[in-house]
Structure 1
Amino acid sequence: MSVADVDSASFRMLVVAESIRLFSEHGYESTTVEQIASAAGMSRRTFFRQFGSKEDVIFADHESLLAQVDETLASYDGDPWSAVCAAAEVVFSHFRRDRDLAVRRAQVVQEVPALRDRELVTTYRYQGAFEEFLRRRLPDEPPVRIVAYVAAITGTHNYLLRQMIRGDTDATLDRLRRELARVAVALGADVDRPEAAAGDDGSQQVTVVTYPAGTPPDEVARRVAAQLRKS
């Protein structure tokens, strides 16, 4: 299969899948760029032009996913706080659609320190996109509130994403939607999707978290997660 046979997003997913397969079978260090390029049906030169390096290729689908996130944020017909929740759902759905690939990638990343660091950087790109969007749409909102909100949303999403990859059958899109709505309510956001905040029995659930002014965003996210576990 060549570059011309598939669209750009599908092609990138193909190369990501082939690279992860080779890394899983032969080890990250032992797998060469030539092997990845050959498996994906392209030249070594095309590989470097399209993906840059072995470290880049394993996360290459994130470029298309980040574009989807930007599109979701820009086109969401509702309040900005809810747009961030909707964008987080897009990310979760992407990995849930091909859970096997997500599992194999997690296994490869866990074994290579450089890839673990790169994964953190990639995660912060989503967080940065959410923060930039909210600052642009809500210019009068205190920056600390935006940072705290985004940290809590991404922390909740990443926790359930990890659980889904580990095989937790309760880590579903519906569960994510409910938990994100709880976080939004807890931090005082004007969520416009009240149905998402309902509990399993249909009742409305509210989680309240208090914290001193100046509390670091990571600590806010930790407290929110602790409250959600109690809910």
Structure 2
Amino acid sequence: MTDNAAASAAPSPIAGQAASRAAVVAAALELFAEQGFDQTSVEQIAQAAGVSRSTFFRQFGGKDDVVFTDHEVLIDRLRAFLAQPHRDPWAAVCEASLLVYSHFAADPELARRRYAVVRGVPALRDREIVTVFRYERLFDEYLRSSLPGLDPLDAVGFSALITAIHNHVLRRLIRGPKKVPASVLRAALDDARRRFGVLPDGEADAAADDVVVAVFPRSMPSAELARRLRERLDD
């Protein structure tokens, strides 16, 4: 085997770290379900996951961080995703929501165990509220920076709506035994954009002419109207 082949066959350090963290999360959630969150110690989690206590604290700051570690990773992913160029900022926010949903839908049983733990511990429920707000604030800040002149009420209103829809569909997945495909969330997000007046309606391409006539919903935010007009005039 060549050196290059051996290197490609060996697991990457990043993949190994991710697998180790996943093992700790799975072990912790199982112990929380069996013994209760408050009754489970860090030492027990580390022993069940096959890691040292010091390794646990390098990976997580505490027991509650084990429960919310996926959100920390996802928020970083969304921040990087939204930092990329997007032709339609409203659609980008919806795609970000779908990225989060797809992550949890990939392993609904793990998501259900996490939800059961959070639901039973008041301190974790409080942190969950703060975590949800972090997603909403990320969307809000992105829309304001992407659409100069956007009314702050439109930015926060759309961000809150998308976050609420996402959480509603995710709860349907977590609380029920059946799978809820991402298409259910996508349809709901499209409906939200339609109600908000920012869903493209498949207008026919306007002929190149000196006059452009466009019809927009009255509910469409003025900043989005201006963006679409600029886009049409630049075509």
Q: What TM-score, normalized to structure 2?
A: 0.75
Q: Please state how far the C-alpha of 1:170 moved relative to its aligned partner.
A: 7.1
Query: Which residue is 2:122 aligned to?
Result: 113
> Structure 2: how far apart are the matches of 1:52 and 1:26?
21
Choose the corresponding residue for 1:91, options 100, 103, 122.
Answer: 100
Evaluate the alpha carbon distance shift between residue 106 and residue 142 of structure 1 in structure 2; reply closer, same or farther with a 3 A threshold: same
Choose the corresponding residue for 2:169, options 160, 175, 181.
Answer: 160
The answer to whether residue 34 in structure 2 is matched with residue 20 in structure 1 is: no
Q: Deviations over 1:136-184 (max 9, x none)?
A: 1112101100000011111011001001111264732001001101101
Contact 1:82 1:193 in 2 (8 A): no
- Higher alpha-carbon Rg: 2
> Structure 1: how far apart are the matches of 2:15 and 2:108?
22
Choose the corresponding residue for 1:147, options 156, 159, 168.
Answer: 156
> Structure 2: how far apart are the matches of 1:114 and 1:97?
27
Query: Which residue is 1:171 aligned to?
Result: 180
Contact 1:152 1:183 in 2 (8 A): yes
SS of equivalent to 2:38: coil
Contact 1:80 1:134 in 2 (8 A): yes
The answer to whether residue 59 in structure 2 is matched with residue 50 in structure 1 is: yes
Percent of aligned pairs with the same amino acid: 46
Evaluate the alpha carbon distance shift between residue 179 and residue 193 of structure 1 in structure 2; reply closer, same or farther with a 3 A threshold: farther
SS of equivalent to 2:68: coil
Q: Please tell me the root mean square deviation across aligned C-alpha atoms, in Å.
A: 2.6
> Structure 1: which 5+ residue stretches go unaligned?
195-207, 211-231
> Structure 2: how far apart are the matches of 1:71 and 1:209?
33
Contact 1:79 1:191 in 2 (8 A): no
Q: Deviations over 1:50-85 (max 9, x none)?
A: 211111211112111112212322336430000000
Query: Which residue is 1:123 aligned to?
Result: 132
Evaluate the alpha carbon distance shift between residue 187 and residue 5 of structure 1 in structure 2; reply closer, same or farther with a 3 A threshold: closer
- Greater shift, 31-40 or 141-150, is seen at 31-40
Contact 1:72 1:87 in 2 (8 A): yes
Contact 1:109 1:116 in 2 (8 A): yes
> Structure 2: how far apart are the matches of 1:57 and 1:69?
20
How many residue pairs get aligned? The number is 195
The correspondence of residues 66-81 of structure 1 with structure 2, limited to 5 A, is 66-75=75-84, 77-81=86-90
SS of equivalent to 1:189: coil
Q: Please state how far the C-alpha of 1:40 moved relative to its aligned partner.
A: 2.5
> Structure 1: how far apart are the matches of 2:91 and 2:136?
15
- Greater shift, 66-75 or 53-62, is seen at 66-75
Contact 1:102 1:165 in 2 (8 A): yes
Query: Which residue is 2:110 aligned to?
Result: 101
Q: Deviations over 1:82-132 (max 9, x none)?
A: 000000001111111010001111111111111111111111111111111
Contact 1:93 1:173 in 2 (8 A): yes
Q: What TM-score, normalized to structure 1?
A: 0.76
Contact 1:81 1:191 in 2 (8 A): no
> Structure 2: which 5+ residue stretches go unaligned?
1-11, 204-216, 220-235
